[in-house]
Structure 1
Amino acid sequence: MASISVPDPVPSSTQDAENIRKAVQGWGTDENALIEILGHRTAGQRGEIAVAYQGLYNEILLSRIQAQLSGDFKVAMTLWTMDPAARDAKLAYKALRRKRVDDRTTWVLIEVACASSPDHLVAVRKAYCSAYDSSLEDDMAACALYDPLRQFLVRLVSSCRYAGEHVDEELAGAEAAELHGAVVIKKEALHGDVVRILCSRSKPQLKATFERYKQDYGKAIDEVLEGNRNDRLSSMLKITVWCLTSPEKHFAEVIRYSIIGLGTDEESLTRAIVSRADVDMKKVKEEYKVRYKTTVTVDVVGDTSGYYQAILLALIGPEQP
C-alpha cells in the first residue's frame, strides 16, 4: 500500500545517479530534478542509486544531499534517501538524546518498535549498533523516561515476534480476558499481563485478541484506552495497540496533530509521511479522510510551501479530493 508513483520503465540506477550528479553540479541545485528522481523510487531502487552514485563519483550520495540542500526540504530528502532501517535507528537515537522526553518523543520510540515488521526491527537494532556503538535496548533502558513506561519500551524494542500468520483462537480469548482484567478492573494500563502480551505475541495473534476483546466486552480495547486519555500510560498503550495492528490510525493522527493549531510541527509531519510512503500511506490517506473529512494533500498544501511541500506531495502520491 505504498503511495509513491514509480515510472515505467524505471531508468537504470546508473542513469539516475548520473542525472542526480547533473542536478547538484554547476550553478545552483536543480531541486525539482532531485524530487523527480528520488521522490519516485522505492527503497530498494534508492539503495541501488546510492551504490551507483558512490561507484561513479567516489562520493556518498547522502553526504551530497545534506551539503547541497537546506531547511525542512533537506531534512525530508535526507530521511527519504536513507536506508529505512538506518533512518529508524537515527530517529530513535535522536529521540533518546533529547533532554526533555515528551509524549511525541515517546511516539517515535513506539513507532520504531511496533509499526513495522519483526524483521525490520531486527534490522533497526543492527543499524543502531553499527551507527552509534551502543545497543538500542541499552540506550532505551538509560533514557530519561520514567518506569514503568521505560521498562515497557525496552521490552518492545527487544521483542522477537513470530512473523507468521498462525493464530490460536483459544489463546486470543484467554488473553482478551487478561487485558480486560488489567486495564478495566485493576486499572493498570501497563500491568505485567499487558506488557507480556503486547511485547511477545505476533501481530496476527494480537489482532485476533483485540477482535475477541470487542466481541466479549462490547467495546474495542483502543476505545477503552481512549476513554482514559488523561492517563498518560493509557494513552501510550493505545498508540502501541494502533502501531501493532492498525498503524494507519496512528500516523493519520500524527499528521493531523502536526498541522492543526498555531504553526506546523515539521519534524512530526516529515517523519510520518517519509516513514509510511513506502509502507502504507494509501491506508493512512483513507483513514485521514474518514476521520477528518479532508485529505492529507489538502492539509499539507495549506500548511507547507516550496520544495519541502513538493517532496511531501510526491511521497503522499495522488488522491481524490
Structure 2
Amino acid sequence: MAAVGLHGTVKEAPGFNPEADAQKLQEAMKGLGTNESTIISILAHRTIAQRQQIKTVYKRDIGKDLAEDLKSELSGHFEKVAVGLLMTPPVYDAYELKHAIKGAGTDEACLLEILASRSNAEIRAFTAAYTQEYGKNLEEDISGDTSGMFKRVLVSLLTAGRDESTVVDEALAKKDAKDMYDAGEARWGTDEAKFLTILCVRNRNHLLRVFQEYQSIAGRDIEDSIKREMSGNLEEVFLAIVRCIKSKPAFFAERLHKSMKGIGTTDSILVRVIVSRCEVDMVDIKAEFLKMYGKTLHSYIKGDTSGHYGKILLELIGPEK
C-alpha cells in the first residue's frame, strides 16, 4: 500500500477502529432508508489503507461484501464515489480503464489522463490489477479499441519504460528539441513518431530542459506547436504528457475545471480525479486551481453538484481554505 501522500487532503483517522466503523456502516444501511451522512463521515475521512481494513472486518463480522451493500443502497454519482473509495489505486485505475474501453465508443479522455499521469510503478500495478480483475490483457484491449499514432503513444506509455532518473544530458536536450522542431514546425507534415520517442521515454528533468530549448529554437512553447501540428486524440495525449511533465497538480486542476465549466458537468472526470488524487496531491491541485481560475475548487464543486454526492466530494477535498 502506498504511503499516505503528504499533499493529500485525506489523512489517517486518529484512533482508528475498523470494527466500530464496519458496525456503523452496517447500521447506516440496514432497515428502511439509508443514513448517507454516516457513510460520508467514515469513507471520506479514512485513508485507502484504513478503508481496506474496514472492508475486511465488514466481511468477517457481518458476512457481507461492503462494496455490494453500498451498491444496493446508493445510486448515481454518490454510489460511484463511495464504491471507488473502497478500491486500491491500481484496482481503481484498472476499473476506470475497463469502463473507458468497454461497450460502444471509447472514453479516450480517461485513457490519456491515466496513462499520461501515472509513474512506471503505478502503470505496472494497474496493468497487473487489470489482468487479475478482468482476466484480460490491458495492452491488447487498448490496442483493439484505438488506432493509428494515438494507439502507438498509449502502447508506449503502457510499457512503463520512462527514464525516471533526474539526469539532464545537455547535448541530448538540445538535440531532442531540434529533432522535435525539425519533425514538426520546420517541415510540411509532422513526424509524430519523433515526438513519441522523446515525450514518452525521457525523464522529467530532461524534458523540462528540452522544453526550454524548444522555446528558444521555435520561438513558441512546445504546447503551442503541438496544437498547430496535431489534432484530435493525438493532440490531446501529447498535451497531457507535456502538462503532466510540467506540473501534475496544474494538469489535474485543468481537468477539474473543464469537467465543471459550461453547460452540464462531466461527472466521470470529476469523480475520477477526486477519488484518485485526494490522498496524493489534492492540496497542490486546490492551490493550482485557485491560481489558474481565481476561484476555489470548493466553490466550483459547491455550485456544480448537489445532495450527498456534492457533500462527499467536498469532504474529500477538505475545507475551502
Between 42-51 and 1-10, the greater mean CA deviation after superposition: 1-10
**CA deviation profile, 1:275-295 (whole Å, cap 9, x unmatched):** 221222222222222222211
Q: Distance in 1 between matches of 2:188 and 2:110?
A: 25
Does 191-200 or 219-228 show the bigger shift? Answer: 219-228
1:195 maps to 196
Offset at residue 170 of structure 1 (A): 3.2
Q: Distance in 1 between matches of 2:198 and 2:111?
A: 18
Distance in 1 between the 2:209 and 2:26 partners? 50
Question: Aligned letter for 1:140?
Answer: I
Deviates more, 1:30-39 or 1:60-69: 60-69
Counterparts in 2 of 1:195 and 1:12: CA distance versus 1, 3 Å: same
Cα distance change, pair 163–49 in 1 and its aligned pair in 2 (3 A): farther
- Over 3 Å counting, the alpha-carbon distance change for 1:8 and 1:98 in structure 2 is closer
CA distance in 2 between counterparts of 1:305 and 1:189 reads 46
The C-alpha deviation readout for 1:137-175, integer Å capped at 9, x for no partner, is 1111111x3311112211111233344434433332322
Moved more, 203-212 or 286-295: 203-212
In the alignment, the residues of structure 2 paired with residue 61 and residue 2 of structure 1 have an alpha-carbon distance, to the nearest angstrom, of 28
Q: Secondary structure at the match of 1:160?
A: coil
Shift of 1:218: 4.4
Seen in structure 2, the aligned counterparts of structure 1 residues 140 and 58 have a Cα distance that, compared at 3 Å, is same
2:151 aligned with 1:168, yes or no? no
- 2:305 is aligned to 304
Matches within 5 A, 1:1-321: 2-6=7-11, 9-101=14-106, 105-143=107-145, 145-186=146-187, 191-214=192-215, 217-227=218-228, 232-320=233-321
> 1:117 Cα deviation (Å)?
1.9
1:185 is paired with a residue whose SS is coil
Of stretches 59-68 and 225-234 in structure 1, the one that deviates more from structure 2 is: 225-234
Post-superposition CA distance 1:92-148 (Å, at most 9, x none): 1111124223xxx222112221212211110000011111111111111111x3311
Q: How far 1:67 sits from its partner (Å)?
A: 1.7
Q: Given that residues 12 and 50 in structure 2 are in contact (C-alpha distance below 8 angstroms), is that contact kept between their aligned partners in structure 1? A: no
CA distance in 2, matches of 1:185, 1:46: 53
178 and 319 in structure 1: CA distance in 2 versus 1, 3 angstrom threshold: farther
**2:149–2:192: 8 Å Cα contact kept in structure 1?**
no
**Corresponding letter in the other structure for 1:220:** D
1:174-203 Cα deviation digits (max 9, x unpaired) = 222222222322366662221112222233
Q: Which amino acid aligns with 2:295?
A: T
Judged with a 3 Å threshold, the aligned counterparts in structure 2 of structure 1 residues 202 and 48 are, in CA distance, closer, same or farther, namely farther
Say if 1:148 and 1:190, in contact at 8 Å, map to a contact too. no
Q: Please, which moves more after superposition, 308-317 or 226-235? A: 226-235
RMSD: 2.3
Structure 1 residue 5, shift from structure 2 partner: 4.1
Aligned equivalents of 1:188 and 1:314: distance in 2? Answer: 49
Q: Is the 8 A contact 2:116 2:237 kept in 1?
A: no
- Residue 275 of structure 2 aligns with an amino acid whose one-letter code is V
Query: In structure 2, do the counterparts of structure 1 residues 186 and 81 end up closer, same or farther at CA, with 3 Å as the change threshold?
Result: farther
Aligned residue pairs, count = 316
Cα distance in structure 1, aligned partners of 2:212 and 2:55: 43
**Residue identity opposite 2:110 in structure 1:** V
- Which has the higher mean CA deviation after the structures are superposed, 269-278 or 309-318? 269-278
**Which AA in structure 2 matches 1:137?**
E
Distance 1:162 1:125 in 2: 19
Runs of 4+ in 1 over 6 A off after TM superposition: none
Letter in 1 for 2:174: G
Normalising by structure 1, report the TM-score: 0.89
Contact 2:78 2:309 in 1 (8 A): yes
State which drifts further: 221-230 or 306-315: 221-230
| Kept after mapping to 2: 8 A contact 1:159/1:199 | no
1:43 positional shift:
1.8
Query: Per the alignment, do residues 31 and 57 of structure 1 end up closer, same or farther by CA in structure 2, a change over 3 Å counting?
Result: same
Kept in 2, the 8 Å contact 1:161–1:200? The answer is: yes
Gaps of at least 5 residues in structure 1 are none
